[in-house]
């Protein structure tokens, strides 16, 4: 137990958990096979996505640019921004895992209905006969906001019905947008974890109803993982070499753990020990932090006296995904817990320095740079024994910005 770290969290202070120096086995080959299988499904669906949604170059792919941050940061330059806050369709990272989870559901419905015969292109999913069949089906999802928003928007785009269960952290504007699009929004008084469980119960008995579960979903997890290969190609194009001597350090905002966990799975399968994956959580919702600091024993943030109250609604989760902890818990190199104030401050800085339109959750990576690098400096043990951490000053640092480009102007002005 890391009692000192937990005390910091309870006091609302920044805290950094570092993995012990011990190397843990990771089956990179199996992970690469999982990611390759997911990529094939993305490719199959590209013609349908291209017809139904606005995607870069009309290619039907959900990907985001990598760019250099144009101002100085508390990390060795250059620092890159992986701009998932501008992903097509939903302008947040859920467009990867959430939409992938939805595509799995759609593929099953279409196959069962005999729509996708051998040789048939998935473009037919945008045609009337397929839409009539999909319209009979309802997708149900529980969310703190962005997952429900993303799956709702995409499901409606495919002509399906969407029922979105929102926890009490969810922002009004996300609910209002969904209702405008024709989704049913069900509001819950509890937090994310309790919202998921009541949504799950409510669909159990209903016909043609599909629950997309973020808490323990393999489909979402591998949907996110494809981002690893995408980043690898972008770094190659930018002539950035990644090795233990020049490690890649990624800063990943973390809620239930699916998005950062899936991305970690993809990146570790490509770069192994040369990538350092840093998860970032709000102090009050530091569920992965707590689980790892308590040696993997699954604990909620309430158990250690934290409130789960945060302005970073995309990260307001009290209990980490068990699937994520099982799959990549031992691969997470560090977890940084940051106070709300530092995230909301970064909303303004990222806008004035770089014209990045970010919601508070999406700035967590910036807020983590300084405390993480200080903790590495102070941590003689890991410096001495883990080569990638020893070489962190020669590393390439990538801040993953995970949402915000579609925020209404008045909401954004309030954050500024």
Ligand X SMILES: *Cc1c(COP(=O)(O)O)cnc(C)c1O
Smaller CB separation from ligand X, 46 or 315: 315
Smallest Cα–Cα separation from 221: which of 269, 282, 169, 271? 269
- To ligand X, the closest distance from the beta carbon of 242 in angstroms equals 23
Which residue number places its CB atom closest to ligand X? Answer: 255
Question: Is residue 260 near ligand X by the rule CB under 6 A?
Answer: yes
Smallest Cα–Cα separation from 283: which of 303, 312, 248? 312
Size of site (CB under 6 A) for ligand X: 19
- To ligand X, the closest distance from the beta carbon of 49 in angstroms equals 20
Please tell me whether the peptide bond between 78 and the residue prior to it is cis, using omega within 30 degrees of 0: yes
- To ligand X, the closest distance from the beta carbon of 178 in angstroms equals 14
> Of the ranges 30-38, 161-169, 230-238, 257-265, which one interacts with ligand X (CB under 6 A)?
257-265
**Rounded to whole angstroms, how far apart are CA atoms 146 and 416?**
21
Q: Which of 75, 93, 301, 334 binds ligand X (CB under 6 A)?
A: 93
Site for ligand X in 94-153 (CB under 6 A): 94, 146
Q: Which of 60, 223, 247, 258 binds ligand X (CB under 6 A)?
A: 258
| Long-range pairs, 293-302, Cβ under 8 A, ≥24 | 293/1, 293/2, 293/5, 293/6, 293/17, 293/335, 294/1, 294/2, 295/1, 296/325, 296/329, 298/322, 298/325, 300/193
Q: Is 80 helix (H, G, I), strand (E, B) or coil?
A: strand
Structure tokens at 294: 């308590």
Q: Which of 153, 166, 254, 369 binds ligand X (CB under 6 A)?
A: 254
Smaller CB separation from ligand X, 45 or 400: 400
- To ligand X, the closest distance from the beta carbon of 405 in angstroms equals 11
- To ligand X, the closest distance from the beta carbon of 135 in angstroms equals 28
Smallest Cα–Cα separation from 251: which of 404, 29, 74? 74
Q: Which of 88, 266, 314, 395 binds ligand X (CB under 6 A)?
A: 314
Smaller CB separation from ligand X, 314 or 339: 314
**Phi and psi dihedrals of 159, rounded to 5?**
90, 10
> Of the ranges 132-140, 258-266, 294-302, 391-399, which one interacts with ligand X (CB under 6 A)?
258-266
Q: Is 346 helix (H, G, I), strand (E, B) or coil?
A: helix
Question: Is residue 223 near ligand X by the rule CB under 6 A?
Answer: no
**Phi and psi dihedrals of 24, rounded to 5?**
-120, 145
Q: Which of 255, 282, 329, 339 binds ligand X (CB under 6 A)?
A: 255
**Residue that is written with structure tokens 């977890």 in the block:** 335
- To ligand X, the closest distance from the beta carbon of 213 in angstroms equals 12
Max Cα separation, the chain? 64
- To ligand X, the closest distance from the beta carbon of 198 in angstroms equals 19
> Of the ranges 18-26, 252-260, 297-305, 370-378, which one interacts with ligand X (CB under 6 A)?
252-260
**Rounded to whole angstroms, how far apart are CA atoms 356 and 362?**
10
Q: Which H helix or E strand runs over 82?
A: strand 79-83
> Of the ranges 27-35, 52-60, 75-83, 88-96, which one interacts with ligand X (CB under 6 A)?
88-96
Quick note: the x/- pattern for ligand X over 335-364, rule CB under 6 A, is ------------------------x-xx--
Question: Is residue 325 near ligand X by the rule CB under 6 A?
Answer: no
- To ligand X, the closest distance from the beta carbon of 92 in angstroms equals 5
Q: Which of 87, 185, 259, 398 binds ligand X (CB under 6 A)?
A: 259
With 0-12 CB in 10 A as exposed, 13-18 as middle and 19+ as buried, what is 22?
A: exposed
Smaller CB separation from ligand X, 264 or 382: 264
**Rounded to whole angstroms, how far apart are CA atoms 259 and 272?**
18
Smaller CB separation from ligand X, 92 or 110: 92
Q: Which of 225, 403, 405, 406 binds ligand X (CB under 6 A)?
A: 403
| Residue 342 exposure: Cα atoms within 13 Å on the Cβ side | 20
**Phi and psi dihedrals of 68, rounded to 5?**
-80, 135
With 0-12 CB in 10 A as exposed, 13-18 as middle and 19+ as buried, what is 12?
A: middle
Binding site for ligand X (CB under 6 A): 92-94, 146, 253-260, 314-315, 359, 361-362, 402-403
């Amino acid at each position: 137990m890391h009692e000192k770290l937990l005390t910091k969290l309870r006091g609302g202070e920044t805290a950094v958990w570092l993995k012990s120096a011990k190397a843990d086995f990771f089956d990179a080959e199996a992970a690469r096979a999982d990611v390759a299988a997911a990529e094939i499904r993305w490719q199959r669906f590209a013609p349908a996505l291209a017809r139904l949604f606005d995607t870069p170059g009309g290619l039907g792919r959900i990907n985001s640019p990598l760019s250099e941050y144009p101002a100085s940061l508390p990390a060795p330059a250059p620092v890159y921004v992986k701009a998932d806050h501008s992903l097509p369709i939903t302008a947040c990272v859920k467009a990867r895992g959430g939409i992938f989870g939805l595509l799995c559901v759609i593929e099953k419905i279409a196959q069962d209905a005999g729509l996708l015969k051998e040789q048939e292109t998935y473009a037919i999913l945008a045609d009337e006969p397929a839409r009539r069949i999909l319209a009979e089906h309802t997708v149900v999802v529980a969310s703190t906001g962005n997952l429900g928003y993303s799956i709702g928007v995409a499901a409606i785009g495919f002509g399906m019905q969407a029922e979105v269960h929102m926890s009490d952290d969810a922002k009004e504007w996300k609910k209002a947008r969904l209702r405008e699009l024709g989704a049913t929004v069900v509001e819950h008084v509890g937090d994310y974890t309790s919202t998921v469980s009541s949504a799950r119960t409510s669909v159990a008995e209903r016909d043609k109803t599909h629950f997309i579960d973020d808490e323990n979903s393999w489909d979402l997890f591998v949907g996110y993982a494809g981002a690893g290969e995408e980043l690898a190609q972008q770094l190659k194009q930018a002539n950035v070499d990644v090795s233990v001597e020049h490690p890649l350090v990624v800063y990943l905002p973390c809620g239930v753990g699916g998005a950062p966990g899936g991305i970690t799975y993809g990146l570790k399968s490509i770069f192994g020990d040369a990538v350092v994956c840093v998860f970032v959580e709000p102090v009050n919702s530091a569920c992965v932090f707590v689980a790892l600091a308590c040696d993997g024993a699954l604990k909620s943030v309430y158990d250690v006296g934290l409130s789960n109250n945060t302005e970073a609604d995309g990260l307001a989760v009290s209990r980490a995904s068990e699937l994520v902890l099982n799959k990549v818990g031992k691969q997470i190199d560090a977890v940084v817990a940051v106070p709300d104030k530092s995230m909301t401050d970064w909303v303004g800085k990222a806008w004035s320095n770089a014209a990045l339109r970010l919601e508070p959750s999406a700035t967590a990576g910036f807020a983590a740079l300084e405390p993480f690098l200080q903790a590495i400096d102070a941590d003689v043990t890991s410096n001495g024994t883990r080569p990638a951490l020893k070489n962190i000053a020669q590393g390439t640092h990538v801040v993953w910005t995970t949402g915000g480009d579609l925020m209404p102007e008045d909401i954004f002005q309030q954050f500024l």
